[in-house]
Amino acid sequence: MKILVCISHVPDTTSKINFTDNDTKFDTNGVQFVINPNDEFGLTRAMWFKEKQGATVDIINVGGPETEPTLRKALAIGADSAIRINTEALDGFQVAKELSAVAKEGNYDLIIAGRESIDYNGGMVPGMLASLLGASFVNTCISLEVDGDTATAVREIDGGKETVTAKLPLVVGGQKGIVEESDLRIPNMRGIMMARKKPLEVKEPQGASTETSAVSFEKPAPKGDVKLISPDNLDELIDLLHNEAKAI
């Protein structure tokens, strides 16, 4: 079984976010980037298929050279090879089109992507990729098994879960649950050394057009000042909650 895992290069959630050019561009200065968490869950599940069923696992990313450390980390976790499509990821439509061109060439049985990235939270790429490939699609996937050419998946739905079966090829939008956080792998020294020797192929883009663009960004409003009330002064606390905060 050939598996392709889509890897997004996203800011760590602990990074301080700023914008430049009159709040029209994201400022990457001083920002630590990591593997998108939903993608890391999917990668870990792909590693299970590699170890238990002998699958081969490729990873792919749309981005410039600055994304290669993230790809190398994924290789250190255990992926066999990496592909970087040498263009900036501008919107979900463009990313899906670029990914589909490479995926068609690779003739993959299973493609695992995160259901969304934690930077833009678009949630578009897996579904559009499946449509472009003419493949089955399961989103919000929290369990995945493959037996021969048939996959059994469990996905979250409103108010519960749904179990579905589908024939390969299949595109999955994964999230926490497809593996648990305790299953995630920290690259060891051997993995890091081996990752340096694994192939990382750079492909030139197909020139896919974008359908959307960011007009401007805005930070959330800052939190208001905190008032501290002595625990001995319950009357003042009740008065503030009732008349100022309107909480009671």
In a domain, 226, yes or no: no
Whether residue 93 is contained in a domain is answered as: yes
pLDDT tens digit string along 136-188? 999 999 999 999 999 999 999 999 999 999 999 999 999 999 999 999 999 99
Determine, yes or no, domain membership for 88: yes
Mean pLDDT of 224-248: 86
Q: What is the CATH number of the domain that holds 186?
A: 3.40.50.620
Q: Per the structure block, which two tokens stand in for 9?
A: 């290069």
CB 170 within 8 A of CB 49: no
179 within some domain: yes
> What is the model's pTM?
0.87
Task: Give the per-residue pLDDT at 71.
Answer: 97
Question: Taking 90 as the threshold, does the pLDDT of residue 17 lie above it?
Answer: no
pLDDT value at position 225?
82
Q: How many domains does the chain have?
A: 1
The span from the CA of 185 to the CA of 178, in Å, is 14
pLDDT at 75: 97
Cα separation, 137 vs 243, whole angstroms: 52
Is the residue at 19 inside a domain?
A: yes
246 domain residue, yes or no: no
Helix (H) or strand (E) holding 18: strand 18-20
Q: In terms of residue numbers, what domain contains 63?
A: 2-220
pLDDT tens per residue, range 56-73: 999 999 999 999 999 999
pLDDT top residue among 14 and 175: 175
Q: What is the mean pLDDT of the chain?
A: 94
Evaluate whether 214 touches 181 at the Cβ level (below 8 Å): no
Look at strands 200-203 and 170-174 and give their pairing: unpaired
The rounded distance, in Å, linking the Cα atoms of 170 and 80 is 20
Instruction: Please report the DSSP string for 57-119 in residue order.
Output: EEEEEES-GGGHHHHHHHHHHT-SEEEEESS----HHHHHHHHHHHHHHHT-SEEEEESS-TT
Is residue 232 in some structural domain?
no
Residues of the chain with pLDDT > 90: what percent? Answer: 77
Mean pLDDT of 186-202: 94
Query: Taking CA 160 as the corner, what is the angle to CA 156 and CA 165, rounded to the nearest 5 degrees?
Result: 55
Asked whether residue 127 is assigned to any structural domain, the reply reads yes
Taking alpha carbons only, the member of 114, 130, 111 closest to residue 122 is 114
Is the distance from CB of 3 to CB of 174 less than 8 angstroms? Answer: no
> In angstroms, rounded to a whole number, what is the distance separating the alpha carbons of residues 103 and 98?
9
CB 113 within 8 A of CB 61: no
